[in-house]
Amino acid sequence: MNPLIKPRALFVALGLLLALALWLSLALGPVSLPLADTLRAALRLLGLPLAGEGLAQTELILGQIRLPRTLLGLLVGAVLALCGVAMQGLFRNPLADPGLIGVSSGAALGAAIAIVGGAALGGLPPAFAPYLLSACAFAGGLVVTSLVYRLGRRDGETHVATMLLAGIALTALAGAAIGLFTYLADDATLRTLTFWNLGSLNGASYPRLWPLLLVTAAVALWLPRRAKALNALLLGESEARHLGFAVERIKAELVFCTALGVGAAVAAAGMIGFIGLVVPHLVRLLVGPDHRVLLPASALAGASLLLLADLAARLVLAPAELPIGIVTALIGAPFFLYLLLRGRT
Amino acid sequence: MKRLKTLFALGTGLLCCGWAVADDALPQRWISSGGALSEWVVLLGGEERLVGVDSTSQHPPSLRELPSVGYQRQLAAEGMLALRPDLLLGSEEMGPPPVLEQLVRAGVQVEVLSSRADLASLQASVLRIGELLGRPQQARAALADYRQRLQQQAQWVAQAQAQQEQEAPGVLLLLGHAGGNPLAGGRDTAADWLIEQAGGRNLAQHTSYKALSSEALLALDPQVLIIADRSLSGEQAREALLRHNPALAATRAVREGRLILLDPTLLVGGLGPRLPDGLAALSAAFYPASHSTLAQARPTP
């Protein structure tokens, strides 16, 4: 398959797209700020010594509301897309999605435990209470994924097909447990749970960004080092082994990276679907399956797409906002169908 | 006569000026979240200050015309700031907390009032709203009136029970959507509180709102059924419930035609100003033979 675009052209285009998405995400919102003010406030936030009178409100909205939210969107979009590439490479299937190894359902189960159990406990120390949900979601993702990985291992080898089936089984099991918690929840907790499952970048703040920043940086630095191995895996596991790659180790690393990355993203922003599935696929259509290009390009595209989806989420119903999971699903589901139907003709 | 009118107009004008001066230091642009709180704001004459409400604020219907800031647990900081509010009023359910922090930093006064279903919380909340509106006397008067009506209600129930030598009727409240999958209001719900206050005995023993099987409904055999339907009203709601749950036809409530309709918005967001009327209507249906007029529903002021 010949790529439609040369890698260099793609990187230029995606870089421009991301810059545009970043700027729109900072410049647009329910509060309409004059462009000149936005520019001046942005430059002041960068540390330029400009006159700041009359900019207090603009700086606050830009610095405390839009900037953390934009950074959150950037990180979540990038890490979800990277993990999507890792999963599609591992399963050698373009329709694979980070949810397959149970990280999403595990995180959802952790969140359900935190929301319903936290409401029942009630008396948590106030310093810890806001982080309970994130911590439980992250831990839930890791635990279920490590279980799936264990179940897929036999005689020192990881069987990808077994792991896939184990992922499906554990997802169903987690679904049942979530259902049980849903049944036990009262009305208010139920709505919190529902909204969490739809994802949102709302209420982003700097302290909550740090863990995600660390994880995303680690994943974004680590996965590209495994690009050649991922390329070799496309040929098949034994071929990759004969080419001299430590296949078992690579598989473990890919699963670990995905559990970490998706877990952190879900912990910070709730469940946001389809980015990890659609973005790698889209990029592969444009530029071909070489992971050395696919990984960084997907990160750029994922970040741009999520920022644009978030822009829609906060503008469409302003002053209220739409959960972002609805927007990404609205874009992602038709695209998925298109991929399925395209193969038929 | 004309003179009198002029004088009256002048007087009103002066009074308004007086308000305006006193009001200057008070928050002028309000966002209210939580159905019952918004109703109290409107009752105390604060409707013209509201610039936005949350999705649970549905009463009075004029509030639906205002910009909606979404569900109270999922508020958006910038969306609310676009309404340039001075004050955000809401219950402890309001959130998420980081958004409230962002609003405080933007100079918005955030008032968290309790929406618990007890009179002490209600008193604190209503007095605070009165203070914020610059109408403390009105708030006190409204509270006194509210208390009195609840007291009369309790007396009426006691009287009715004594007169008829009748025990509290067994009641189920079914919260449904166009008759399908009704959920019975159990312990620790507003439904339970309403039934008890109106002099009934809630037959549902579980906590929160849960679905009961047809057989369980039959076995409980309620004497009175309260229907709170979110999408249908009047005769349609009754018919839809019976059509979707034919087993109900064998219960005493249906055989004796004791199906009462209740506005489901009364069940959310704590004690609202319409509650005494709702209670009075329920009591009247629980004790139909009692002719005392105390609990007659009267129009909300």
A2, part of any domain: no
pLDDT value for A337:
84
CATH number, domain containing residue A160: 1.10.3470.10
How many angstroms separate the CA atoms of B151 and B268, rounded? 22
Q: Do A31 and B77 touch (CB under 8 A)?
A: no
Q: Do A320 and B55 touch (CB under 8 A)?
A: yes
In sequence order, which residues have a C-beta less than 8 Å from that of residue B203 and are 6 or more positions away? B170, B171, B172, B220, B222
pLDDT value for B143:
95
**Amino acid found at A176:** A
DSSP state of B288: T
**Cβ contacts (< 8 Å) between A187 and chain B: which residues?**
208-209
**Cβ contacts (< 8 Å) between B55 and chain A: which residues?**
320
Q: Do B80 and A60 touch (CB under 8 A)?
A: no
Q: Do B73 and A195 touch (CB under 8 A)?
A: yes
Of the partner residues B71, B78, B188, the one whose CB lies closest to the CB of residue A65: B78
The SS3 call for residue A276 is helix
CA distance B101 to chain A (A): 9
At residue B150's C-alpha, the angle toward residues B146 and B153, to 5°, is 140
Model confidence at B6, pLDDT cuts 50, 70, 90, reads low
Locate the chain A residue with the closest alpha carbon to B206: A184
**Cβ contacts (< 8 Å) between B208 and chain A: which residues?**
185-187
pLDDT value for B22:
53
pLDDT in tens, A310-322: 999 999 988 899 9
Write out residues 76-135 of B within 8 Å (CB-CB) of A: 76-83, 93, 96-99, 101-102, 105-106
Cis bond leading into B96, ω under 30°? yes
pLDDT value for B13:
47
Q: Do A30 and B78 touch (CB under 8 A)?
A: yes
**Amino acid found at A125:** P
Q: Do A319 and B68 touch (CB under 8 A)?
A: yes
A253, part of any domain: yes
**Cβ contacts (< 8 Å) between A195 and chain B: which residues?**
71, 73-74
A159, part of any domain: yes
Q: Residues B159-175: what's their mean pLDDT?
A: 85
CB-based contact B99:B31 (threshold 8 Å): no
A336, part of any domain: yes
pLDDT in tens, B10-29: 444 444 444 444 556 899 99
In sequence order, which residues have a C-beta less than 8 Å from that of residue A162 and are 6 or more positions away? A151, A152, A154
Q: Do B81 and A320 touch (CB under 8 A)?
A: no
Locate the chain B residue with the closest alpha carbon to A58: B106
Q: Do B76 and A195 touch (CB under 8 A)?
A: no
Q: Do B102 and A203 touch (CB under 8 A)?
A: yes
Domain count for chain A, please give it.
Answer: 1
Q: Integer distance in angstroms from the first to the last C-alpha of chain B?
A: 29
**Cβ contacts (< 8 Å) between A61 and chain B: which residues?**
78, 81, 106
Distances (CA, A) of B88 to A62, A319, B51: 21, 14, 10
Domain extent at residue A328: 7-342
pLDDT value for A21:
97
Of the partner residues B69, B105, B207, the one whose CB lies closest to the CB of residue A319: B69
How many angstroms separate the CA atoms of B37 and A279, rounded? 45
Q: Residues B259-274: what's their mean pLDDT?
A: 85
Name the pTM for this structure: 0.85
How many angstroms separate the CA atoms of B98 and A208, rounded? 10
**Cβ contacts (< 8 Å) between B80 and chain A: which residues?**
319
* Tokens, residue B21: 């001066």
Q: Do A314 and B76 touch (CB under 8 A)?
A: yes
A288, part of any domain: yes
pLDDT in tens, B175-222: 888 777 788 998 888 889 889 989 999 999 888 888 888 888 889 999
A238, part of any domain: yes
CB-based contact B225:B172 (threshold 8 Å): yes
pLDDT in tens, B84-121: 999 999 988 888 888 999 999 999 999 999 888 788 98
Helix (H) or strand (E) holding A298: helix A291-315
pLDDT value for A18:
97
Average pLDDT in chain B: 84
Helices B136-164 & B119-133 angle (0-180, nearest 10): 150
**Domains delineated in chain B:** 24-134 (3.40.50.1980), 166-286 (3.40.50.1980)
**Cβ contacts (< 8 Å) between A131 and chain B: which residues?**
none
User: How many Cβ atoms sit within 10 Å of the Cβ of residue B285?
Assistant: 19
**Cβ contacts (< 8 Å) between A64 and chain B: which residues?**
102, 105-106
Q: Do A57 and B77 touch (CB under 8 A)?
A: no
Q: Residues B241-268: what's their mean pLDDT?
A: 87
pLDDT in tens, A245-301: 999 999 999 999 999 999 999 999 999 988 999 999 889 988 999 999 999 999 999
Query: What is the predicted ipTM?
Result: 0.81
